[in-house]
Amino acid sequence: NTTTSSAKLARDGFTSSFGVLAATLGSAVGLGNIWKFPYLTGANGGASFLLVYLLATLLVGLPVMISEIMLGRAAKRDAVSSLKILAPAGQPWWLIGAFGVLAAFLIMSFYSEVAAWVFAYVFKAMGGSILSSDPAVTSAAFAALVADPVQSLLWQWGVLLFIGGILLLGVSKGIEAVTKKLMPVLFLLLIVLGVRSLMLPGAAQGLSFLFTPDFSKITAGVVLTAMGLAFFKLSIGMGTMITYGSYFKDDQNIPLTTLRVMGADLFVSMLAGIAIFPAVFSFGFEPAAGPSLVFITIPAVFASMPFGHVFMVLFFVLTAIAATGAMLSILEVPVSVMVGRFGVSRPRAVLFTLLLLAAIGSTCALSGSLLADFKLFGLNMFDLFDEVSSKLIMPAGGIALCLFVGWVWGFDRMRDALSNHGQLQNEGLLRALFFVIRYVTPLLVLLVMLSGLGVF
Ligand code: PHE
């Protein structure tokens, strides 16, 4: 029966242009914007950090993201197989995909735990138990959650099951359908919160922290942190965008979609900064509070404002939504490799990924309690996985991708792929992009990595 066999062969993918945008933006927007971006900006000097981050996004993020999506769509396969079939036989470029799978597990291990706190806080916010204007109370509440091994594990497993459930539905009926519904809600909630925060008495001070640079704060380590954030934020250097690129429609304008995703992602980070920093200053909190910033500051901030209870629930719901789209895209990397490379059925691949993650991820869930003293290189597993992925694997993946496109794949194939086989014309821009991918980005990333890691 030819119809069923060709239906079996047809690969699942995104079905509409809006779906492509929602899923890709859903991957980029996440805890990176609402949790990581504010606390890194707060701890590393505010506006000067923001400036370096913007430069990294343009000079590194944009070219790498375009390259990844392009390769994925050209090959229409998972992250490992795509590089296998695009590269000349015998060359090990597929290792980019293999390290991507490794990075996906490392990232998801700590990411799912932060998401676990967020999901827990949605319910705590509804119940009102964390609503207190006294930071001592809100920090005690957060410390209690982190130090409770049972709660930490159960919330994490709950999150994993939730994400696994959506992945089981597939690419178009799962990832695309869910992100299409959730992304508009996220933007709406974020705008409401940003406006609310700007109306607070200390708003001006928060904004000046976010927008006045202090260049004395910029060190090699801070530059690497900012670049690592750019990789993490745009979900690049670890195979997610190759995988999603393989689900892109053939007539999708890749550079334009990438620019839109980047712009919207920056907009969300800025809104999150605008929602958080004015409030932080208005209520006299410490902007450099670190990873717990949103969990301690935000409840106290909301407790001090009219209708704070409602706004706090909205805040954690929107953060949970953002985290969901990102987690779907992290897990899709190993799932698609198992399906595409090893012929495992999708349900089995999802199940296997979840089980492995429950095991690896538990080291992060327990790093605030039972495993608090278990350290490698002076870091607990939560911090170690975060640092290794953002400062090593993703930047190294970015370099390798640029070298592959710039020196192996070459300009003609890139022009053909990005112009949708000649339908879109922009020779000048494509040549400039190719130059950046061939020389500028790989060198820049290498220099930042080496100096940031203290090699010179
Ligand atoms: N970009 C996501 C965020 O900012 C995190 C992410 C990293 C998603 C890597 C996919 C791959 O939250």
* Percent of the chain topping pLDDT 90: 70
- Let me know if residue 105 belongs to a domain: yes
pLDDT category at 135 given cuts 50, 70, 90 is confident
User: Can you give the pLDDT at residue 171?
Assistant: 94
Q: How many residues does the chain have?
A: 456
Report yes or no on 4 lying in a domain: no
* Cβ neighbours of residue 339 closer than 8 Å, sequence gap 6 or more: 78, 345, 346, 349
* pLDDT of 178: 93
Q: What integer pLDDT is reported at residue 361 of this predicted model? A: 95
**Residue at 41 is within a domain:** yes
How many A from CA of 46 to the centre of ligand 1? 22
Average pLDDT over the chain reads 91
CA distance 112 to 243: 20
Pocket lining: 71 vs ligand 1, CB cutoff 6 Å: no
- Centre of ligand 1 to C-alpha 282, Å, is 30
- pLDDT over threshold 80, residue 200: no
Q: What's the pLDDT score for residue 9? A: 56
Contact assessment for residue 395 and residue 231, using Cβ atoms and an 8 Å cutoff: yes
Boundaries of domain holding 63: 17-452
Query: pLDDT band at 4, cuts 50/70/90?
Result: very low
Retrieve residue 327's tokens: 């987690």
235 lines ligand 1 (CB under 6 A): yes
pLDDT at 441: 98
DSSP-derived 3-state class of residue 287: coil
Residue 347 has pLDDT above 70, yes or no: yes
pLDDT in tens, 361-395: 999 999 888 888 888 888 899 999 999 999 999 99
Return d(Cα 83, Cα 342) in angstroms, integer. 15
- pLDDT on residue 7: 43
Return the closest-CA partner of residue 41 out of 243, 266, 247, 192.
266
How does pLDDT run across 69-100, given as a tens digit for each residue?
999 999 999 999 999 999 999 999 999 999 99
Q: How far is the CA of 327 from the centre of ligand 1 (A)?
A: 7
User: For residue 368, is it within any domain?
Assistant: yes
How many angstroms does the Cα of residue 234 sit away from the middle of ligand 1?
6
- Quote the ligand 1 centre to 449 CA distance (angstroms): 20
How sure is the predictor about 309, in pLDDT bands with cuts at 50, 70 and 90?
Answer: confident
Pocket test residue of 25, 27, 41 for ligand 1, highest count of atoms within 8 A of CB: 27
Residue 11 inside a domain? The answer is no
pLDDT higher than 50, residue 1: no
Does residue 326 line the site of ligand 1, with CB under 6 A? yes
- The reported pTM is 0.94
Structural domain contains residue 3: no
Question: Is the minimum distance from the CB of 362 to ligand 1 under 6 angstroms?
Answer: no
Q: Label residues 357-390 b or e (16+ Cβ within 10 Å = b).
A: bbeebbbbbbbbeebeeeeeeeebbbbbbbebbb
Q: Is the CB of 233 under 6 A from ligand 1?
A: yes
Atom 9, ligand 1: residue with shortest CA distance:
235
Q: Cα of 65 to ligand 1 centre, how many Å?
A: 13
Residue 5 domain-assigned? no
CB atoms within 10 A of CB 430: 17
In a domain? residue 44: yes
Number of domains in the chain: 1
Q: Is the ipTM of this complex over 0.85?
A: yes
Q: Is residue 218 very low, low, confident or very high in pLDDT (cuts 50, 70, 90)? A: very high
Distance CA 106, CA 287 (A): 27
Q: The CATH number of the domain where 180 resides is what?
A: 1.20.1740
- Residue 330 DSSP symbol: H
Average of per-residue pLDDT across 248-254: 96
pLDDT mean over 296-302:
80
DSSP states of 299-327: HHHHHTSTTHHHHHHHHHHHHHHHHHHHH
pLDDT of residue 6: 45
For ligand 1, whether the C-beta of 105 sits within 6 Å is no
